[in-house]
């Protein structure tokens, strides 16, 4: 047992308001008489539970759904249910202490990745352990980060186009009967989805895959058509992906009028100097947050939070996630 924190003791003695305790105590206290879920012989065995947390209690800053879960289990669950499509990067040339705050915000808004560019270690205290639930990548330079990001986007486009070609191939076989010479044509990364074709099919000059296949029996191919529509939307989002620099410089556009693409990489600079010239050169757009006081910029961690929430406001489907979880104990 740890000795009580002197500050907590003094606060209680002062008569100030007592705040509710966060988290839960040991499993034996919160679930008396119930078998432990970390016991393989238990009827409620669940490998996601952490034995040490069951013993000592779980006071972490996590959703109640994740109480007693291991860090690995929480991270895997976030991945399984889908992270948001935006990514964030921060240049760490000056050992910026705001990085921890940015990582914590990225976790709150479920960013798909966090990139840290530069040679310095960063202070993880500000992240409050949330970096454990995120995909955090380190890069030696902004040029290397941008190259890796663009390469990954191109790969995702090629994969989605190949999936669409395969579905089109199956649909053609369903409509006309299987033919031994039918084969799906590989679609190179730079090919537009409208150019996806099946070997042996009549050439076409324009139109989407869905339009081309409209002559087929839609009722029999409803599922495939839905898959094609989803892939077309995904490819369009990937092809519209952009790198966005957040900085106040001449020519930047106000965030309040900017439409964030669904797939994007947001670049943030260090407190004070902002982004490097190389980062601004590699960005597709430069966006600033409108301010009305005397200072040139707001805190870098605050700027990152505002920017991420702007993306959320434009793209995240409104849902009462917490209410749904509390009501059913599961994701909605």
pLDDT tens for each residue of 25-50: 999 999 999 999 999 999 999 999 99
Considering the domain architecture, whether residues 160 and 235 belong to the same structural domain is answered as yes
Q: Is residue 329 part of a domain?
A: no
Considering the domain architecture, whether residues 86 and 235 belong to the same structural domain is answered as no
Tell me the CATH number at 107.
3.40.1280.10
Q: How far is CA 118 from CA 35, 41, 129, 138, in A?
A: 49, 49, 21, 8
pLDDT tens digits for range 144-161 = 999 999 999 999 999 999
Q: What is the 3-state secondary structure (H, E, C) of 60-98?
A: CCCCHHHCCECHHHHHHHHHHCCCEEEEEEEECCCCCCC
Q: Is residue 161 part of a domain?
A: yes
pLDDT tens digits for range 107-134 = 999 999 999 998 877 778 878 888 999 9
* The token pair that represents 130 in the structure block: 């949330």
Short-list 132, 78, 70, CA closest to 100: 132
Short-list 317, 331, 302, 308, CA closest to 126: 302
Is the pTM higher than 0.85? no
What integer pLDDT is reported at residue 73 of this predicted model?
Answer: 97
Considering the domain architecture, whether residues 182 and 200 belong to the same structural domain is answered as yes
Considering the domain architecture, whether residues 247 and 307 belong to the same structural domain is answered as yes
Considering the domain architecture, whether residues 135 and 277 belong to the same structural domain is answered as yes
Residue 327 burial by Cβ neighbours in a 10 Å radius (0-12, 13-18, 19+) = exposed
Q: What is the arithmetic mean of pLDDT over 235-257? A: 96
Considering the domain architecture, whether residues 105 and 218 belong to the same structural domain is answered as no
Q: What is the arithmetic mean of pLDDT over 234-258? A: 96
If one counts the domains in the chain, the total is: 3
328 contacts 287 by C-beta, under 8 angstroms: no
Range of the domain at 172: 152-239
* The token pair that represents 54 in the structure block: 């069951």
92 contacts 116 by C-beta, under 8 angstroms: yes
Residues 248-259: b if buried by 16+ CB within 10 A, e if exposed:
beeebeebeebe
Instruction: State which of 220, 239, 258 marks the end of a domain.
Output: 239
Higher pLDDT, 243 or 220: 243
* The token pair that represents 73 in the structure block: 């289990």
Q: What is the arithmetic mean of pLDDT over 69-81? A: 95
* Residue 319 confidence (pLDDT) above 60: no
Q: How far apart are CA 126 and CA 98, in angstroms?
A: 7
Q: How far apart are CA 32 and CA 34, in angstroms?
A: 6
Q: Is residue 13 part of a domain?
A: no
Short-list 241, 165, 143, CA closest to 209: 165
* Residue 307 confidence (pLDDT) above 90: yes
Q: Collect all residues with Cβ–Cβ distance below 8 Å to 9 and sequence separation of at least 6.
A: none
How would you classify the pairing of strands 264-268 and 111-117? Answer: unpaired
Q: Is residue 178 part of a domain?
A: yes
Q: Collect all residues with Cβ–Cβ distance below 8 Å to 74 and sequence separation of at least 6.
A: 62, 66, 133
* Residue 97 confidence (pLDDT) above 80: no
What integer pLDDT is reported at residue 189 of this predicted model?
Answer: 43
């Amino acid at each position: 047992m740890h000795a009580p924190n002197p500050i907590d003791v003094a606060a209680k003695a002062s008569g100030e308001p007592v705040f509710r305790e966060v988290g839960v105590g040991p499993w034996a206290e919160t679930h008396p008489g119930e078998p432990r879920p970390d016991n393989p012989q238990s009827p409620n065995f669940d490998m996601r539970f952490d034995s040490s947390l069951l013993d000592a209690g779980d006071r972490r800053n996590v959703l109640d759904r994740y109480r007693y879960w291991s860090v690995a289990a929480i991270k895997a669950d976030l991945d399984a249910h889908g992270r948001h499509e935006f990514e964030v990067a921060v240049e760490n040339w000056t050992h910026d202490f705001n990085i921890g705050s940015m990582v914590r915000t990225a976790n709150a808004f479920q960013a798909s990745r966090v990139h840290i560019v530069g040679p310095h270690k960063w202070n993880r205290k500000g992240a409050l352990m949330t970096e454990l639930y995120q995909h955090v990548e380190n890069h030696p330079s902004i040029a290397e980060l941008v190259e890796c990001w663009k390469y990954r986007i191109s790969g995702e486009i090629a994969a989605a186009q190949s999936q669409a070609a395969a579905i089109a191939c199956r649909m053609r076989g369903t409509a006309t009967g299987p033919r031994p010479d039918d084969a799906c044509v590989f679609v190179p990364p730079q090919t537009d989805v409208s150019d996806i074709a099946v070997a042996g099919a009549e050439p076409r000059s324009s139109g989407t895959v869905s339009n081309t296949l409209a002559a087929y029996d839609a009722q029999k191919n409803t599922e495939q058509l839905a898959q094609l529509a989803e892939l077309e939307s995904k490819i369009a989002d990937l092809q519209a992906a952009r790198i966005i620099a957040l900085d106040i410089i001449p020519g930047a556009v106000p965030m309040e009028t900017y439409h964030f693409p669904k797939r994007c990489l947001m670049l943030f600079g260090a407190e004070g100097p902002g982004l490097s010239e190389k980062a601004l050169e590699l960005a597709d757009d430069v966006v600033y947050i409108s301010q009305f006081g005397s200072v040139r910029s707001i805190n870098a961690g605050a700027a990152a939070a505002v920017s991420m929430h702007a993306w959320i406001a434009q793209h995240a489907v409104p849902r009462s996630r917490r209410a749904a979880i509390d009501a059913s104990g599961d994701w909605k």
